[in-house]
Amino acid sequence: MFRQRRRLAELPTLNFLYLTSNLEVPVIDDLVSELKQLTLLGYDNHLWEVNRTQSGPVLLQWTRRQIASRTVEHFGHKNPYWLMKGHILPTAFGNRFI
């Protein structure tokens, strides 16, 4: 995992990352702290907007309703929307393609 984290840190324009794994939350917090340009993070069945504050990054979790009714505008750009378009994430309304 550490080699992959180094590689991720070498991507200066990476603003969206989606992970499916058994990573522990501290690893996710470290990734968000290290990847300064990250604005959106997906992990298993969750999506978070990354807000940067003076005290550090704050993760704002999307609600199931936001996941079910997402648009390109929710992602902030068409590329992350397109990348996630074929993934199924459970929502309050059952499993939905995202």
The confidence score (pLDDT) of residue 51 equals 93
pTM of structure: 0.71
**Domain span at residue 29?**
2-97
Least Cα distance to 87 among 57, 46, 51, 52 occurs for 46
Q: What is the overall mean pLDDT for the chain?
A: 76
Bridge pairing between strands 56-61 and 40-43 = unpaired
- Amino acid sitting at position 55: S
The confidence score (pLDDT) of residue 5 equals 62
Q: Are 50 and 38 contacting, i.e. CB atoms less than 8 angstroms apart?
A: yes
What mean pLDDT comes out for the span 14-25?
73
Which residues lie closer than 8 Å to 63 by C-beta, 6 or more apart?
92
Bridge pairing between strands 40-43 and 16-19 = parallel
Q: Are 80 and 73 contacting, i.e. CB atoms less than 8 angstroms apart?
A: no
Overall domain count for the chain: 1
Q: 14: which strand partners?
A: none
